[in-house]
Amino acid sequence: MPYTPPIKSMKYLLHHAVDFDAVLACPDHSDTTADLVGDILDGAGRFASDVLAPTNWAGDQTPAALSGDAVTTSPGFKDAYSAYVEAGWQGLGMAVDHGGMGLPQAVSVATGEMTYAANMAFGLCPMLTASAMKAIAAHASDDLKAKYLPKMVTGEWSGAMNLTEPQAGSDLGPVRTKAVDKGDGTYAISGQKIYITWGEHDCADNIVHLVLARLPDAPEGSKGISLFLCPKYFVGDDGALGERNSLKCIGLEHKLGIHGSPTCTMEFDGATGWLIGEPNRGLACMFTMMNEARLFVGVQGVAIGDRAYQAALGFARERVQGRTLGKQETIIGHPDVRRMLMDMKARLMGARVICMATAVAGDIAASHPHEETRKAAHIREALLTPIAKSYGSDVGISATSTAVQVHGGMGFVEETGAAQHYRDSRIASIYEGTNGIQAIDLLARKIRRDGGAGMMALIEELSQIPALLVMTTAETGVRLGSSRDALEQSLATLREATQIMLDIDEADGLGGASNYLMLCGHIIAGCLLIKGMCNGLLAGDPQAENMQKLVWYHALVVMPEAGAHLNYLRRAGRVLFDYPEIALGDL
């Protein structure tokens, strides 16, 4: 199944809809020109479509396999991984000081999307390595950094995150894995971790495990968890690989999707580990890279949704069935098929622009010369992250489902690959904090903690867009009245919903959190697309005309869905608990 990287859309959104040019203007990125970014996207796109995409189906059909404690990855993965390392993509987002390229996160989001679309199961390995590197770079001792980062930044060694245990998933407080001080600067780690992505495999020479565990005297719950680094193979002072550490994979999960990604049960049997950061501060260390990891899961949704969309489009252009009213002979001429394609495209574009806006906020927060701007951007990034994660993954899941529908019976049978995308996309709303947990994060930490200040600042900014619309019409003569109506109404909806979420009591708030998140997603996506449309029209971008039609669809169909969520919030969570729990089981 071929994959065409959506580079044109990405560039359009980067330059017209989100302020990527402000990122390039930061001193940290003075060497990074728009042309260079274009070359990087082209290079990454080519690698994704030519090297990674052809391995996707094999990953699904021949999952990673365990024999003894060794994991053999799917056919073609090892070679693809070597090619990935050889081409130097792993270092893209890592700081220059640590041997990376120091490119903006917005570029990683774009290249990441292409990698995940090409082969999501494969793409999780580089993603986890990047996350592990970020945590090490931010919190580990200089010794650990010097020993591990150089080989991780090339991808020769990969990373894995060991958080989850059978009794500790959404809530990591009950983590039971033990860490005992051996008195020589190392710790003995014992316990079992489940669902560890790429925890064991045959692609990299070494695997660097970051493990959450509890010291003997640690307080109960999440304030008593520390972070440790446990390599699969010990590393000598000369950098040479030594003995095997006492940790191993004792099982692989059979899953709905991402079959090519080994999901490992890891056993730590007195494995030697090194403390990262301070004792009992493990979760805080993890959180420094959590924003990024969550954003990237949202990007996975967009990625796999777009891959499925492309397959559906290709199918709709080939399949002849029934007489169409239009010019086209294939089913793409049927209005209902067109509806499905438009719907996927508009929603995916909306989710993509939210991911990019989140990344740009992160870049400004990291690199802008003015502290005030950095602070405001940091708040923006934190606010948008749960939305990017949940909205991106949910849009991805709905797009892959629609893509199955476009395929008719061929979508339900495996051979077209549409079913694989549907299955693969499903994980994105579960891992890296379920979407329910994201909604709670948005409500409790991002809206209520600062009394809605961060959200109000965003609404304030989005409220500039109607003026931009007026100016666009004045300068280009293009009439944009319906976008303006949708925009004004949506901003009012967002304001009212935010006020409700600030005033509501805790239980009702929790009942409305997911609806509020979706409402935010539809509206922020719509606003940013309208902004992108205006800026594109003003710049005379040849794509702007089509963007205008897509945005019209979005403003007419997608944004107004926020209204239904608002209705729900107006009645708050009451509808949920008035119905007795016992009656849920009363059939």
Ligand X SMILES: Cc1cc2nc3c(=O)[nH]c(=O)nc-3n(C[C@H](O)[C@H](O)[C@H](O)COP(=O)(O)OP(=O)(O)OC[C@H]3O[C@@H](n4cnc5c(N)ncnc54)[C@H](O)[C@@H]3O)c2cc1C
Question: Site residues for other proteins, window 23-62 (CB under 8 A)?
Answer: 31, 33, 35-36, 38-40, 42-44, 46-47, 50-51
Q: Which of 539, 398, 404, 509 is nearest to 446 (CA)?
A: 509
CB of 171 to ligand X, least distance (A): 6
**DSSP conformation letters of 511-565:** HHHHHHHHHHHHHHHHHHHHHHHHHHHHTT-TTHHHHHHHHHHIIIIITTHHHHH
Q: Which of 324, 320, 300 is nearest to 399 (CA)?
A: 300
CB of 424 to ligand X, least distance (A): 10
Q: Which of 278, 432, 488, 496 is labelled catalytic?
A: 432
432 is annotated as an active-site residue: yes
Positions that interact with ligand X (CB under 6 A): 161-164, 169-170, 195-197, 255, 263, 319, 321-322, 331, 334, 336-337, 405-406, 408-410, 412-413, 427, 430-431, 433-434, 436-437, 440
For ligand X, the closer CB: 25 or 250: 250
For other proteins, the closer CB: 32 or 472: 32
User: Minimal CB distance to ligand X: which residue?
Assistant: 169
Round to whole Å and give the CA distance between 484 and 527. 10
CB of 2 to other proteins, least distance (A): 7
Are the beta carbons of 180 and 269 closer than 8 angstroms? no
Q: Which does 406 bind (CB under 5 to 8 A by kind): ligand X, other proteins, none?
A: ligand X
Handedness of CA 386, 392, 394, 395 (dihedral sign): positive
For ligand X, the closer CB: 195 or 274: 195
Largest Cα–Cα distance of the chain, in whole Å? 79
CB of 303 to other proteins, least distance (A): 19
CB of 546 to other proteins, least distance (A): 9
- Choice from 27, 68, 409, 542 touching other proteins (CB under 8 A): 542
Question: Site residues for other proteins, window 484-523 (CB under 8 A)?
Answer: none
Q: Which residues pair with 180 in a beta bridge?
A: 188
Site string for other proteins, 83-122 (x = CB under 8 A): x--xxxx-xx--------x---------------------
Round to whole Å and give the CA distance between 94 and 154. 10
* Residue 434 DSSP SS3: coil
78 is a contact residue toward other proteins (CB under 8 A) = no
Q: Which does 89 bind (CB under 5 to 8 A by kind): ligand X, other proteins, none?
A: other proteins
User: What's the per-residue H, E or C state across 296-321?
Assistant: HHHHHHHHHHHHHHHHHHHHHHHCCC
Q: Which does 92 bind (CB under 5 to 8 A by kind): ligand X, other proteins, none?
A: other proteins
Distance of CA 209 to the CA centre of its chain: 21
127 is a contact residue toward other proteins (CB under 8 A) = no
Sequence-distant (≥ 6) Cβ neighbours of residue 540 within 8 angstroms: none
Round to whole Å and give the CA distance between 294 and 112. 13
CB of 45 to other proteins, least distance (A): 10
Are the beta carbons of 458 and 524 closer than 8 angstroms? yes
For ligand X, the closer CB: 262 or 362: 262
For ligand X, the closer CB: 250 or 430: 430
Round to whole Å and give the CA distance between 40 and 137. 24
Residue 235: which H helix or E strand, with range? strand 233-235
For ligand X, the closer CB: 317 or 375: 317
For ligand X, the closer CB: 202 or 541: 202
CB of 5 to other proteins, least distance (A): 10
> What is the CB neighbour count within 10 angstroms for residue 464?
10
Are the beta carbons of 562 and 522 closer than 8 angstroms? yes
Active site residues: 432
Query: Site residues (CB under 8 A) for other proteins?
Result: 2, 4, 8, 31, 33, 35-36, 38-40, 42-44, 46-47, 50-51, 83, 86-89, 91-92, 101, 542-543
